Structure 1
Amino acid sequence: MALADEIQTARKKVITDGYEMSIGEIINLYRDDELVIDPVFQRLFRWGDERKSRFIESLILGIPIPPIFVYQDENGVWELIDGLQRLSTVLQLTGDLKGDRAAELGPLILNGTRFLPSLDGKRWKESANGANDGIPQPLQIEIKRARVRVEILKSDSDVSAKFELFQRLNTGGASLTEQEVRNSIAVSLNREFYDWLIEHSNNAAFIETTGQTETALNSQAGVELALRFFAFRYIPYQPGLDVHEYLDDALMKMATDNTFDLNQEGEVFTKTFTFLSEALGSMSFKRWDGRNFSGKFLMSVFEVMSTGVSHNLVELEALQAHERQAFIEQAAKSLWNNPTFNQYSGAGIRGTTRLARLLPIAADLLKP
């Protein structure tokens, strides 16, 4: 397809609108549930008070701010795609932010800024002790009259357009990891799928075998590993495709595919990591040095061992427990004598090359 044709086809997938609105109008839409921020998105609200104060300063001084992006569903309700930090800051300040996160954050008390040092200690409503710390009503009105552009992605856009927009606006920023971007869009694509993915990423055997640290859990690394597992089973990897683009595509396909059997795939996941946990525990995805399993978690071992076990569950279940455990342990050791694995699992091997070479041999390597 020629470039001009590709452009024309892609443009048809995205139907947009947009106009300026006052902050007060946006607050009213949120109050009336005509603008929705999913609670999962709220957990990504990470600005500190200093940055929040600088944003409020920008509104007061009339400094232009970036637009917010929303998705308009078939009922006309707007779903926030981008602008979480800015919009949540305003809602926290005015006391309109909803949900558990609002109670956790409490009222926003501003810091002094370079241009407005007298903002220090100010809040929307004066505190009960008469400290004269409330924002004066004329200034409140100015803040609510400040204008921001709202870019609207219409519901009749292609289903992938919302994902693409959210990803391009957020990926690469300091605040969100690749998987947090996927999590956020999974919520809007299919909440049931998102909850199911999170549930399995919290499976005790899965957490044990992957040896996730607190930092990894907080960055959603475990959710990405669970997604990788399901993607490798369900979506054939195309050699050369960027790994994160592959995972993006796999998430979108699984979340929107009515034939994707959550119960069946969930059972496969549970059995796979239970078997690995029983055989190797926290050593499941580490290097075998000829005497011991040691070192850090290795993605290459995870990809081969978990995928391989999942494709041989019937045969592995037929074995006695001690036989199954001995077989899996021996397979993990033998992996390091396999020429293909050794050639394509080491440092310096691109993820695209590793997946293309190792995934096709996983099932055979773990076949009893």
Structure 2
Amino acid sequence: MADEEFMSGDLFATVRVQDLPASREVVAVERQDDGAWRVCGSAIANADGIAELGLKGSNTSRVYAFAIDHWGEPFTPNRTVAYGDIIRPSVFLGWLYRVTDPGVLPSEEPAWWNSTPGMPRPVGSAMAQAEMYFQPIAHGPVDIEWEVKEGGDPHWDNVVSLLHFDGDLTDETGRIWTPIGSPAFADTAPMLDGEYLTQGGVANSDIILGAEDFTIECFFRVRSTPPMFIFLWDGRGAVGSDGPYPIVYMQGSDMILRNHVNNGTTGPNSSVAVALNTSYHFAHVRKSGVSTFYLAGVNVGSAEDATNYNLQTLNVAYTQSGSFGDFLDMDEFRITKGVARYTENFTPPTEPFPNFK
């Protein structure tokens, strides 16, 4: 589970040793749904025995809290020790020895003793007081009040690509894109000025959409009318090659919405005029064998589409001539595999797509 998928919560603990408040380390562990265990938080109780643990975990896990006693350091001949250091004998019999006066331990291990209240004894040139060791104490499962993340993506597990274009080509899913040309980010535009980005090869098999539902979407803005075809995305290995993969492109002042299969078209085949210097959200959604194009949240084309999209190549921000950024800006490119996010007209999102559940 990635860190961004964890929820936050708080655990308050009280530690008492022999019925008295004690400063001890408190550790919380969770047993996740898949049976895996992980530490989800820790803190040290204060002198009043109070600890507040900030947790990061899953709200479906079972959480257990452990109070851990000091374990000390093993006896080392001629070691210099300071006040408060804890020494553990080489043969452990349930007692530890806390240094009350600093000094140097002897060259040979002394005969250790049991606790005598208020009676430190010499250990070399140092003095130490015996303390009983207490095994870890556990409680649980304990109730945790988890904080619900606002604005998460319930379909984050299905996202196979998310590019914010915030000054770099970081894909929030960890996918590596190959820039073709020399991309550079313009000061006033969210999208890069370059030739295009590409994905290809067997390592990218998870972008194969198959016959499943899917959603491919982005924001775009037309700066100026392109003289030739300019593609928001194109799954063909080269222009004119066989598909299949959805393609969306600009031709003049019109946005052409089309699927490309075996050098032909299938599914929605629409042409929509778009205004210059206007930001639009666009989504290609397939739901139960029907593909629909949404521009600014409005259905602008729909048709049956049973295509098995089986290519592993995907080009984004592709142009046949010049730089993509000369004509269009792109922002918030996302592919969601197995989920049709939009099934009717909708209000487009206004915030960056989240990268957590």
Give the TM-score normalised by structure 2.
Answer: 0.21
Say which structure is richer in helix.
Answer: 1
The structure with the largest strand share of the pair is: 2
